[in-house]
Amino acid sequence: MTQSATHFISPLTFQALSGNPVCTTLLDTDAENAMGHINLARWADLFLIAPATANVLAKCSHGLADDLVSTLYLAATCPIVMAPAMNQAMWHKTVTQENVQTLIRHGVTLMGPGQGTQACGEMGFGRMSEASEICDFLVSRLHHQDAPPAELSLHGKKVLISAGPTREALDPVRYITNRSSGKMGYALATAAVHAGAQVVLVSGPVALMPPDTVEMVAVESAEQMYAEIMARVQSFDIYIGAAAIADYTPVITQSEKIKKQATEMVITLKKTRDVLAEVACIAKHPFTVGFAAETHDLEHYAQDKLNRKKIDMIAANWVGKAQGGFESADNELHVFWKNGQKTLAMADKNQIAVQLIQLIAERMNEKSTT
């Protein structure tokens, strides 16, 4: 604990609740006889700093070592994770963002900050990620400690993900939509964060909550989805189009509720803009991943979409079956890219998301070296 932390909660409280000793001082005579801070750094499998204040970020990014925490940071050889927490204005300050980028370049994984109401009453980014979320990430990170480097190769990458359905309004009451739950897109957002990426999620209307560490942009229609993605995508390294964006939208949206009078009603539809194809057409486009939901001839239609839209990768899944696809907790993906393919066997969507993110990282690395 830093001295500032002890002003909020006593070391004795932490010690009593955890059953472990609490270190607070760099120059502890008894501990330093055995070079205590060096032993601590060598002992750890993973080093978490939570909350990581603006002061801690500044110290660590500049190599200062004037207390136990900053000294441990310099001495540690294990993976380092920081959970930033500060006022939203402090977080957005240019110097803080420069410090963050320096830490990322040095291999530090940042979790958060999240967005919401802060202790000072202001709204914005700066809230520390939820403790349960941090714990889940640490368990996942430790589990993959000896895994291939590709699993953690999105450090410093910016990933834009679309998820969920869109709603195309007929009138103020009715709309055309599809059965997408958004679960796959949200699982991919979580997996990308766990792989060290900075993630923005553009989501249609779903009953899901994104991780605090993900910036979420809520949209409703295909046109809104298009506008939000195209306004951002050029600054990202990866775009994953997991949203089920409507292919057609009504030519006319009635301003008042359509009354049930005639025995039939004819609705004229027009094509929506193809987000995936337009992203792939950008001169310096991000690594672009599309999705395809098919009821038959899955490989044929997936390969056709991959080639026709000139994207880097496509993940296709069966829909209309008892297991997998829309609204299901599980999924099976058939992933295709130029001169290659891989099947991700039926599993929980969270597990499938981790596998797909790993595959994307591998393909990105291969593409950058060719």
Domains and CATH numbers, the chain: 3-146 (3.40.50.1950), 151-368 (3.40.50.10300)
**Which residue did the predictor score with more confidence, 36 or 213?**
213
Q: Residue 348: is it exposed, middle or buried by C-beta count within 10 angstroms (0-12/13-18/19+)? A: middle
Q: Report how far residue 112's alpha carbon sits from residue 215's, in angstroms, rounded to the nearest whole number.
A: 9
**Which residue did the predictor score with more confidence, 161 or 142?**
161
Scanning the chain, the segments in alpha helix (DSSP H) are: 3-6, 11-18, 29-32, 36-43, 54-62, 68-75, 88-92, 94-105, 131-143, 183-194, 222-232, 275-281, 298-308, 349-368
pLDDT bin (cut points 50, 70, 90) of residue 288 is: very high
> CA–CA distance from 189 to each of 115, 214, 215, 286 (Å)?
16, 7, 10, 16
Q: Is the pLDDT of residue 208 over 80?
A: yes
Q: Report how far residue 305's alpha carbon sits from residue 273's, in angstroms, rounded to the nearest whole number.
A: 15
Q: Report how far residue 325's alpha carbon sits from residue 317's, in angstroms, rounded to the nearest whole number.
A: 6
120 is catalytic: yes
Based on its alpha-carbon atoms, the radius of gyration of the chain, rounded to whole angstroms, reads: 24
Lowest mean pLDDT among 51-65, 311-325, 338-352: 311-325
**Which residue did the predictor score with more confidence, 123 or 277?**
277
Considering only CA atoms, which of 193, 93, 64 is closest in space to residue 136? 193
Instruction: Give Cβ neighbours of residue 5 (< 8 Å, ≥ 6 apart).
Output: none
Q: Is the peptide bond before 84 cis (omega within 30 degrees of 0)?
A: no
pLDDT bin (cut points 50, 70, 90) of residue 136 is: confident
- Is residue 152 a contact partner of residue 195, using CB atoms and an 8 Å limit? yes
pLDDT bin (cut points 50, 70, 90) of residue 152 is: low
pLDDT recorded at residue 206:
94
Q: Is the pLDDT of residue 195 over 90?
A: no
pLDDT recorded at residue 148:
45
Considering only CA atoms, which of 293, 288, 291 is closest in space to residue 310? 288
> CA–CA distance from 214 to each of 210, 220, 262 (Å)?
6, 19, 47
Considering only CA atoms, which of 12, 40, 43 is closest in space to residue 28? 40
pLDDT bin (cut points 50, 70, 90) of residue 149 is: very low
pLDDT recorded at residue 37:
62
pLDDT recorded at residue 308:
95
Q: Is the pLDDT of residue 33 over 80?
A: no
Q: Report how far residue 51's alpha carbon sits from residue 113's, in angstroms, rounded to the nearest whole number.
A: 10
Q: Is the pLDDT of residue 370 over 70?
A: no
Please, what is the average pLDDT of the chain?
A: 87
Q: Please check if 349 is assigned to a binding site.
A: no
User: How many angstroms from the chain centroid is the CA of residue 245?
Assistant: 20
pLDDT recorded at residue 180:
92
4-23 tens-digit pLDDT:
888 888 889 988 988 888 88
Q: Please check if 348 is assigned to a binding site.
A: no
pLDDT recorded at residue 218:
95
210-256 tens-digit pLDDT:
876 788 999 999 999 999 999 999 999 999 999 999 999 999 999 99
Considering only CA atoms, which of 308, 305, 285 is closest in space to residue 232? 285
pLDDT bin (cut points 50, 70, 90) of residue 324 is: low
pLDDT bin (cut points 50, 70, 90) of residue 27 is: low
pLDDT bin (cut points 50, 70, 90) of residue 326 is: low
80-101 tens-digit pLDDT:
999 999 998 999 999 999 999 9
Q: Please check if 291 is assigned to a binding site.
A: yes
pLDDT (mean) for 289-299? 92
Considering only CA atoms, which of 271, 204, 273 is closest in space to residue 243? 204
pLDDT bin (cut points 50, 70, 90) of residue 151 is: very low
pLDDT (mean) for 294-315? 94
User: How many angstroms from the chain centroid is the CA of residue 66?
Assistant: 34
Q: Please check if 247 is assigned to a binding site.
A: yes
- Is residue 83 a contact partner of residue 56, using CB atoms and an 8 Å limit? no
For the record, the structure tokens of 300 come out as 């044929």
Report the 10 Å Cβ neighbour count for 36: 18
pLDDT recorded at residue 21:
84
Q: Is the pLDDT of residue 104 over 70?
A: yes
For the record, the structure tokens of 57 come out as 């970020």
Q: Is the pLDDT of residue 30 over 60?
A: no
Q: Please check if 309 is assigned to a binding site.
A: yes
Catalytic residue among 60, 120, 135, 281: 120
